A and B are shown apart, each in its own frame.
Chain A
Amino acid sequence: MTDLVFYFQVHQPFRLRRYTFFDIGHSDRYFDDVENARIVRRVAEKCYLPMNALILHLVEQNGGKFRCAYSISGTALDQMERWTPETLESFMRLARTGCVEFLAETSHHSLCGLFDVAEFKAQVNAQADRIESLFGRRPTAFRNTELVVDEKIARAAEEMGFQVILGEGADHLLGWRSPHRVYRPEGCEKIKILLRSYKLSDDIAFRFSNRGWSEWPMTAEKFASWVHGVPRADSFIGLFMDYETFGEHQWSETGIFKFMEHMPRRVLENGRFGFKTPSELAAERDPVARLSIPHPVSWADVERDLTAWLGNAMQRAANEAFYAMRPAMLAAAENGHEELLRHWRMLSTSDHLYYMCTKWFSDGDVHKYFSPYSSPHDAFIAFMNVIDDLARRAQRVAVAHT
């Protein structure tokens, strides 16, 4: 039996407004709420709502044989609560089918797992609590921001009680080994790791509408035949992708919804194949081997590393300055100024670093597409101005309490 494990990432950051040097000390209005509301409503209309309706239909139509998982960042949940509550409602409806799993992640879609273990555990626990209260079940599977995993993060997730963690099936990680087996991260005793099958995932997420692709147009039949062609020994195929693929990155006109509507039925035509959620699959399968992950691996760009967030001087400086502020933020919160810690966490979202990326060629155009800034330098300036102001606020609080 080979199972397809679908996991969709749902995320929206709190984008900053153009915060200039002259705002420092004068304004704590950091976020562009007009733009953030506009975007989440647009994405809800083009992607979340129609796609949730389709997933619900697939679950019902296939009598529970179609199953999938979501991870919804805390910032996306915040935005849905504020600006498109009907979207959150439709996710809750999916949860009630029992065929849809919700994963844990950091509450703010941050990279804190790489820099601050205490902050990491705080953010993951907060997110797990929230998922439990919204969707009725405490998450047993964990995915880190941008699928960033190394042995340290895997161990932290294990310590927090997760059964399974998701990762990228990067070539340099696997070598000759297949991404379609369950592994155990080196240094862990219980947790299992499921890897993304990047070729089949990207056939849907990136290449689907590419007319220059030799396989265009891709059909449900064609995709099912590729799936049916994998070796019998393969345990699963990890199809991990951004949920915004459907209707936002790939417009409805490309036929992406039609493809999703028909593909599960085509896959199920061969009795050797089924669908499972990550926790279901991990419960059934033992790891075939240990997987050594000495350096962090992500699902981004061709490098599958951290260079999209920490590749240049600006990103490293901004990141370093940001994490150095944590003690001051915690102190301010203890002194009754919770809003500083809340703002700081909203700034921990990895997108803020991503906008500063200068890998312009090849991968660069993807970065540009997602950035609200006209240049990575402008992104850096706005972010640095904002954290400068936040640091000053914390200092004022500290002075007032001594």
Chain B
Amino acid sequence: MKVLMFGWEFPPHISGGLGTACFGITQGLVHHGVEVLFVVPRAYGDEDERFVSVVGANEVPALEFVESASASASEAAPKPAKRRVRREAGSKVSDEAWSRAFSIVELLAIESPLTPYLTELEYLERLTAIEESGSGRRVELLAALAELLQVPRGDSSGAETSRRLLARSPLPFSGGYGPDLMSEVARFALVAAQLGVQRSFDVVHAHDWMALPAGLAAARSAGKPLVFHVHACEYDRSGDHVNERVRDLEQLGLDAADRVVCVSHYTAGVLQRRYRIDPAKLRVVHNAVTQKEQVDILHVTRAIEEPIVLFLGRVTFQKGPDYFLEAAARVIHIEPRVKFVMSGSGDMLPVMIERAAKLGLARHVHFTGFLKGEDVERMYAMADIYVMPSVSEPFGITPLEAMALDTPVVLSRQSGVSEVLRNALKVDFWDVDDIANKILALLRYPALVEQLTSEGREEIQALRWEHPAALLRDVYRELVA
């Protein structure tokens, strides 16, 4: 069994979330003897070249700038890495783990500024930082992609269409990035289509909407089945104010894919309600935890004696920061000697600061702003309680990170992760009395903390990627058989 996978991120740019999940899935699949051709966008230009060799997109035609990693890795080994970049602090995967995994997995990189969950605005900012934006190419790219996607499933004309598009002059997918996010996604897909013609594999697997056109293009070029893996959909990211183009692209992928894998029953429900997806091709595969190679000993010195209750995440509507503050007000009423910390940034942050003042919590709530790298882990370790009051969370990896650092967790039931975790206190995000009740119980009853941390540690260690990977392998088998 060989799978062509459109994944996200490689060292040093493991920002957590999707990149970590893709890495874990790959490791797990390798464990089960599935061969993986792992394709990633080379988004930053400073990626660690010990693992992959990348050539610029605008230097040579598409087919040539996709290179085998195994060959280049052995080349790169004797000489010191040209641009050896320290892995980003706080990255969850050690260099050793990467090199071990990718000594078996073939890693391919396509030059592209795409990163998961990029918005239109962020894309344009990034683009201007990289190069002068081209113009007038957008229509061309999207039209070329549309032509390819019109190839019916299982039709052998995909390869032919792909070659014809490649032969067209000027090449739509060389000579710089797409002028906007959507056309870059299309450009990335057209390069992927070439892979579909050139390489041999049994099934294509794409993660989230940005990689979806690439996966679909590769699948159609090769006449192979497609697995679309949904980690989050547009409704999770944007609530009811969705970006219609992103939503439409997701709809296209959900309709066109042979199997849709999603990270929770919660997300499965969203996909059925919002996209009317056929439940027969839907599969739930929960995420697991990337086991740390070594436990870093964090030397946390606490300057404050009061217990700390932590919110950490984007300060946006779907993360429920306002429920955190409401619960804080109720806790403070009974237990004034508690510090509440809100870490993260986002569009609701100014409102939250005002709200805290209005609730009379100014002395009790601290806003740290956006934390990164080791500061994140240090914050988890400093906290006595971690609260994730998400309104909508397809999975939600942060409770696992907190638990890995022995911090007990109060967790919204409206999250995918609550489906797999047992050693966490679960609440409905709107039930602020219950959130406060559980925070107070953790502050007052040490046996509860002991229970959750001791059994939680074991639970986290048992959540290995081998289990979800076995389910994915079964999905591939269904399609290939």
Residues of A within 8 A of B (CB): 20-22, 312-314, 316-318, 358, 360, 374-375, 377-378, 380-381, 384-385, 388
Contact = CB atoms under 8 A, between A and B. Distances in A.
A358 B451 CA distance: 9
Nearest to A378: B425
6 contacts: A21-B444, A22-B437, A312-B455, A358-B455, A381-B438, A388-B444
B447 A316 contact: yes
A313 B426 contact: no
Nearest to A23: B437
A309 to B, nearest CB: 15
Nearest to A21: B440
Interface string B438-472: 10110011111011101100000000000000000
Counting chain A CB atoms within 10 Å of each CB, which of B425, B444, B447 scores highest?
A: B447
Counting chain B CB atoms within 10 Å of each CB, which of A21, A375, A385 scores highest?
A: A21
A20 B434 contact: yes
A316 B455 CA distance: 15
A21 B426 CA distance: 16
B441 to A, nearest CB: 4
A313 B433 contact: no
B447 A317 contact: yes
Contacts of A374: 426
A318 B447 contact: yes
Contacts of A358: 422, 451, 455
Contact of B454 (A22, A313, A318, A378): A313
A380 B440 contact: no
Contact of A377 (B433, B440, B452): B452
Contacts of A20: 433-434, 437
Contacts of A384: 441, 444-445, 448
B433 A312 contact: no
B436 interface: yes
A136 B437 CA distance: 48
Contacts of B167: none
B304 interface: no
A21 B334 CA distance: 9
B437 A381 contact: yes
Contacts of A360: 422
A316 B452 CA distance: 14
B247 interface: no
Contacts of B450: 313
Contacts of A316: 447
B473 interface: no
A22 B438 contact: no
Given A21-B334, A317-B445, A360-B422, A377 B451 contact: yes
Question: Which 8 A-B pairs rank lowest in CB-CB distance, beginning with the nearest?
Answer: A317-B447, A20-B437, A21-B440, A381-B441, A313-B450, A313-B451, A314-B451, A21-B437
Given A380-B447, A381-B437, A384-B441, 17 more contacts: A20-B434, A20-B437, A21-B334, A21-B441, A21-B444, A22-B334, A313-B451, A313-B454, A317-B445, A317-B447, A375-B422, A377-B451, A378-B425, A380-B448, A384-B448, A385-B437, A388-B444
Contact of B447 (A22, A314, A375, A388): A314
B87 interface: no
Contacts of B451: 312-314, 358, 377, 380
Contacts of A314: 447-448, 451
A21 B452 CA distance: 19
A314 B447 CA distance: 5
A317 B449 CA distance: 12
Nearest to B434: A20
